[in-house]
Amino acid sequence: MSNAIAKAATGARPVRIVYFAWVRERVGLPEETLDIPTDLATVADLVRWLKARGEGYEAAFSDEAIVRAALDHVHAKPQARLGDAREIAFFPPMTGG
């Protein structure tokens, strides 16, 4: 209970962020758990916040229109609201099949 209050007071919540292919290579990590500000409303907001974290992120998201995202295993557009997604993924356009 006191933890929940502290979290709300600091305005951050933990999310698992996963990266694939060249996005993973540029960020330098396959995944991480970050406390993201609760005032980040959309996928695009989160991307801008991540880009401020360092050069690797800046390189990964240098062309924001290219990188795709998924919220809890479902494709999401840049303007999609983060809601209470627990796992957020970023990756290049897909080349399976």
| The token pair that represents 3 in the structure block | 């933890």
The span of 5-13, 40-48, 53-61, 87-95 binding another protein (CB under 8 A) equals 87-95
Applying CB under 8 A, the span of 1-9, 13-21, 46-54, 57-65 interacting with another protein comes to: 13-21
Other Cβ atoms closer than 10 A to 19:
24
Burial tier of 34 (Cβ tally within 10 Å: 0-12, 13-18, 19+): middle
Query: Is 28 a residue that touches another protein (CB under 8 A)?
Result: no
Q: What is the largest CA-CA distance in the chain?
A: 49
Tell me whether residue 3 or residue 96 sits nearer to another protein (CB atom): 96
Nearest distance, CB of residue 10 and another protein, angstroms: 30
Residue 22 binds to another protein (criterion: CB under 8 A):
yes
- Does residue 62 sit in helix, strand or coil? coil
